Amino acid sequence: MNIAVRDPGKKREITLGNKLLTAEWRELVADPQLDIIVELIGGTTEAFDIVCAALRAKKPVVTGNKALLAERGPELFKLAEQNGVPIYFEAAVAGGIPIIQTIQEGFVGNHIRSIHGIINGTCNYILSRMTAEGVSYKDALADAQRLGFAEADPTLDVSGWDAAHKAIILASLSYGFWVKPEDAFVQGIENISQTDIRFAAQLGYTIKLLSVIRADEKGRVEVRTQPSLVPQQHVLASIGGAFNAVLVHGDIVGETLFYGKGAGQDPTSSSVISDIAEAAATLHYGSRHSGFVPHGLYGKSKPVEETVSKFYVRLTVADVPGVLARVAAVFGESGIGISSVIQPDESDEAGTTPLIFMLDTAMLRVVRSAMQTVAALDCVREDPSWLRVETMKE
């Protein structure tokens, strides 16, 4: 075993012999005594070069790089197929939860109807703290960084893109065609406030960063990651802290839930070691596909504007009579039903008050158009805040 690192002289938590370390990864790829290449550096540039070089050298690759696979997966799996060597990537999604192998092998006899996942531990920790303890987003993020759940630059996590990369991989494996990053809808948690958490709780919901993957009756696949209201009685609402959970609905197996630590060096190491063991077995016994097998049953992404769900909408409005009727009329004229309304008896110094609507199932395009009309009303003082409501029912 040899290890390529950016700085061989850097002090590390464990002692490694100098003979094990090198700053030149090309030496490792070219070494005939090394049979498997493990890429864990992250990013999509040099990591791409490493994986390509290893595949061309006909060496199996183990990687935990979700961004690399989500953005350049088609190129890599094509190269893997051409050279007859596989890519293993269990650690790329949900840390120590063996969801990749399950989708690829355990559910091979199923048509996947949907996947709902909490697959970013950082965001789940932040939202859990905000919900359970009433702390602000800023304070919860600072605690996540202090505890090592969030990076010094948490943008990839809190923007939703870390979870979105994982969702793209799961969608591609489940539906047999590679989903383009630009076809995935992504919204982060940066604007979630204690106000939304409070009203969601009054309505019987918890806010989670949820990745949703499913195919419609036409075979079009939607892939989206966004903060969503989850019913408090649903199992996903109880997933707290930095844990992950993936709910898979297959047409034969029904609903199955996978739960565990989704981040950190130990669960990630568990998945990497598992992949190395499988790669070694493949080298010894043979028979393994490239890591991604297209099957042609699906092949088109669903435009996010055509996706449907229930919606939570929060407005800041003038505290004067008639506002509720004016806003409700806009939704009614758009053909959007209203299932419930919260009109709290509270007003701030500016004479404004929150007004909360729970909308019945509607197409996102229609809801957005209606909210533009609502925002233009003279009684509405701020842009509407909206979140999806996920019931997890097919």
The Cα–Cα gap between 65 and 43 comes to: 7
All residues at 6 or more sequence positions from 276 whose CB lies less than 8 Å from its CB, including other chains: 36, 38, 62, 88
CB neighbours (10 Å) of residue 170?
25
H or E stretch at 212:
strand 205-215
> Is residue 393 flagged as an active site residue?
no
Nearest residue to 260 via CA among 93, 87, 42, 67:
93
Cα angle 257, 149, 232 (rounded to 5 degrees) comes to: 40
Q: Which alpha helices (DSSP H) does 229-309 contain, by range?
A: 265-285
Q: State the catalytic residue, choosing from 59, 166, 261, 302.
A: 166
Question: What whole-number distance in Å separates Cα of residue 281 and Cα of residue 255?
Answer: 31
CA atoms within 13 A on the CB side of 130: 30
Asked whether the CA dihedral 280, 59, 55, 156 is positive or negative, the reply is positive
In this structure, which long-range contacts are made by residues 156-159, counting pairs with CB atoms below 8 Å and at least 24 apart in sequence? Answer: 156/67, 157/120, 157/122, 157/123, 158/122, 158/123, 158/126, 158/188, 158/189, 158/190, 159/186, 159/188, 159/190
Strand partners, 246: 117, 258
At residue 232, the 3 state secondary structure works out as coil
The Cα 125–Cα 143 span in angstroms is 9
Assign 224 to helix, strand or coil: strand
- Euclidean distance between CA atoms 92 and 170, whole angstroms: 10
Q: What is the C-alpha separation between 91 and 100, in angstroms, rounded?
A: 9
Q: Cβ distance 114 to 394 under 8 Å? A: yes
Residues forming the active site: 166
